[in-house]
Chain A
Amino acid sequence: MTRLEALRALMQQVDDEPVVFTTGFTCRDAHAIRDRRQNFYMTGSMGLAAPIGVGLAHRTSRLVVVVDGDGAVLMNPGALLLVGSSGLRNLLHIVIDNGCYESTGGQRTDFDRFPLHQLAAAAGYRFCARPGTLDEYRQLLHDATRGRVQGPTLAHVCVTPQKGPPGPRVSVGLQQVAARFRDSMRLQPSDRAPTRGPSPITTERELI
């Protein structure tokens, strides 16, 4: 699986679910694959995609998807504690792990030395998955968007380095990105208060 394949699978699956994309090539590729007002392109502030997702998930009953990177998790690992302790059932935290800081020249992250799913489970994530194939990843997205997975959910998606150039820079003005995103989040009749509950630290499960 490559980052582009992982992003394409997500963009095919989502309907009106808001998605927060981490900085760098992830934003650019997502924008190139399928620009939509429910996309929040976090072009700066590396490490804050998950906190943004937590704040958002407090305000909606829709599934909130955060697309993070291994380098961004390393920059702000405290965000795992924030997500885990939130108990938010409508939060899907995808960590696309290419083992390097691809957007800044490919410096290694050595992320595989950290047991991410153990860290997340200890932090309070209810479900931690490490899909090994594109099909398994698609199945997880399918289940999550249909409310069949109770979050906070971690999807650790290992990808091979991307070949070829990234998508062009996000062409939408940042204020417009925020304004249209907020408009897309206005309450709909189907929106209810988000479901929360205490984090069951002990319910570590794995998809595979």
Chain B
Amino acid sequence: MRRWPAHGGGTNTTKARQLAQALLAAGFDFYSFVPDSVLQDVLAALDESCAPRGIPFVSAYREDSAVGMACGAYLGGARPVVLMQNSGLGYSLNALTSLSQPFGIPLTLVIGYRGYRRLDSEETLLMGTLTEKLLAGVGISARICREDGAGDAEWAVAQNDAGRSAALLVAPPDGEVT
């Protein structure tokens, strides 16, 4: 089995910056998150960029609380993003099925895709196979965002504008899985 690299396998820093900038340029103005190794560079770029713009970038400690905070921000007029690892989808399921979805609150989820193509450590593999099925079951469109994020943020905005939640799945770069 191939193993996760010691540093955690974050996305390439330049590409992570591009994704973060694409999200900000698309008008997303509230970010709640639970840290994830795959998203570490995206999170770092957002942390750096949000503060000077006065955009909330809030650690939620657990993914269902991150979804709850994003829903509150939306109710206050924001266009929110939730960033999490796919393991956090488990914690989030009740928040998605009984809060954001039935209330028609459109969220954009940026999800670190551990276990993608079963190229990861053992405890991530089952959620890796379930991630897209769970999102589909909840009724959230998902797309895999592997490169610079070009077009992805715009796609998510279009989904949200149509009243639907959207998930951008960020898989670890092949080259970094050793």
Number of chain A residues close to chain B: CB under 8 A: 38
Contact assessment for B77 and A48 in the assembled complex, using a CB-CB cutoff below 8 Å: no
Instruction: Output the nearest chain B residue to A184 by Cβ-Cβ distance.
Output: B75
For window 43-69 of B, CB contacts with A under 8 Å fall at 54, 56, 58, 60-62, 64-69
Residues of B within 8 A of A187 (CB): 77
Q: Which residues of B contact A9 (CB under 8 A)?
A: none
Q: Say yes or no: A20 contacts B102, CB within 8 Å.
A: no
Q: Which of A22-69 contact B (CB under 8 A)?
A: 40, 42-45, 47-60
Q: Closest A-chain residue to B78, C-beta based?
A: A59
Residues on A with beta carbons closer than 8 Å to the beta carbon of B58: 54-55, 58, 86
User: Which of A44, A49, A81, A187 is the most central at the interface, judged by chain B CB atoms within 10 Å of its CB?
Assistant: A44
Question: A111 within 8 Å of B by Cβ?
Answer: no
Q: Would you call B74 and A51 a contact (CB within 8 A)?
A: no
Within B93-113, the residues touching A (CB, 8 Å) are 94-95, 97-99, 102-105
Tell me if B127 is interfacial: C-beta within 8 Å of chain A: no
In the assembled complex, which residues on chain B have CB atoms less than 8 Å from the CB atom of A82? 60-61, 65, 69
- Any A CB within 8 A of the CB of B24: no
Do A178 and B76 have beta carbons less than 8 Å apart? no
CB of B167 within 8 Å of the partner chain: no
A177 neighbours in B (Cβ, 8 Å): 103
Please tell me if B32 contacts chain A, counting CB pairs below 8 Å.
yes
Q: Residue B73 at the A interface, CB < 8 A?
A: yes
Give the docked Cα–Cα distance between A43 and B71 (Å).
14
Interface flag for B30 (CB, 8 Å): yes
Give, as a whole number of angstroms, the nearest-CB distance from A89 to chain B.
Answer: 15
| Contact call A48/B103, Cβ cutoff below 8 A | no
Any A CB within 8 A of the CB of B80? yes
Most chain A CB neighbours (cut-off 10 Å) among B56, B97, B99: B99
Choose among A43, A45, A193 the residue that contacts B64 (Cβ–Cβ < 8 A): A45
A86–B61 CA distance with the chains assembled, in angstroms = 12
A174 to B99: give the CA distance in the assembly, Å: 9
13 contacts between A and B (CB under 8 A): A20-B72, A45-B64, A45-B99, A49-B68, A55-B70, A56-B75, A58-B30, A59-B78, A79-B65, A178-B104, A181-B75, A182-B74, A193-B54
